[in-house]
Amino acid sequence: MAKRLSKAEIRRRAIDIRTTDLGLTEYDRLCPYDLAREHGVDVHPLEGLVAVGCPEESVIFFASERPDVWSAALVPAGAGQFIVENTAHLPRRRRYNIAHEMAHVLLEHEFDRVMFSAEGRRGCANPTNKDQEWEAAELGAELLLPQAAAYKAAKEHRTDEDVADIFDVSLPVARWRMNGTGARIVAQRTAAKWAKFRRGQ
């Protein structure tokens, strides 16, 4: 099996996807719906599945899958796939989960089932493969809030709430990125170094 991608490689891919597919810099807000459209992946609201010709059994199946838990699902369909979103959930949760499912698509992960994602888990509730799940969690998050943007926000003393608003992500995701990427620590160390330098002058 392929080796798990490094964080550096995932960051590189996120930058490439942002620039090439959407014309965005690392500091711009990304719309995961635009990303899905760009890759020909349809996003259907759960309640609209019947209208797009989805068999009623599938709709019942989705509705039975603890709708309080999942926000988006990636559904294999022929050679491609589509996404179903749970519109009962808040937009920021859905954005996160659509970015996560798109990360699976962009990384060309193979899966043999419907993948359900729920933000509390930072990914799918039923992963087929731990490494792939980790990669999709990292890429999905990196797409929404790149490390470079997290560093910049920390340097500018933005609160987690500000960061959540700027990038249109939930507060737990903003908090996770600001701490998980090391952005806050780097900013604090840099500030401390400067303070020491100035005291020494």
Q: Which residues bind Zn ion (CB under 5 A)?
A: 123-124, 133, 136
Residues 6+ apart with CB under 8 A from 78: none
CB of 199 to Zn ion, least distance (A): 48
Q: Which residues of 76-104 are buried (b: 16+ CB within 10 A; e: fewer)?
A: eeeeebbbbbbeebeebbbbbbbbbbbbb
DSSP string over 22-68? H---TTS---HHHHHHHTT--EEEGGGTTTTT--HHHHHHHHHS-TT
Sign for the CA dihedral angle at 52, 54, 60, 63 comes to negative
CB of 158 to Zn ion, least distance (A): 28
CB of 131 to Zn ion, least distance (A): 11
Q: Measured from the CB atom, is 135 or 160 closer to Zn ion? A: 135
CB of 116 to Zn ion, least distance (A): 9
Measured between alpha carbons, how far is 28 from 16 in angstroms, rounded to an integer? 13
Specify the long-range contacts of residues 53-58, CB closer than 8 Å, at least 24 apart: none
Q: Measured from the CB atom, is 11 or 109 closer to Zn ion? A: 109
Q: Measured from the CB atom, is 119 or 133 closer to Zn ion? A: 133
CB of 195 to Zn ion, least distance (A): 42
CB of 89 to Zn ion, least distance (A): 16
Q: Measured from the CB atom, is 4 or 152 closer to Zn ion? A: 4
Measured between alpha carbons, how far is 132 from 197 in angstroms, rounded to an integer? 44
Q: Measured from the CB atom, is 71 or 181 closer to Zn ion? A: 71
Q: Measured from the CB atom, is 133 or 168 closer to Zn ion? A: 133
Residue nearest to Zn ion (CB): 124
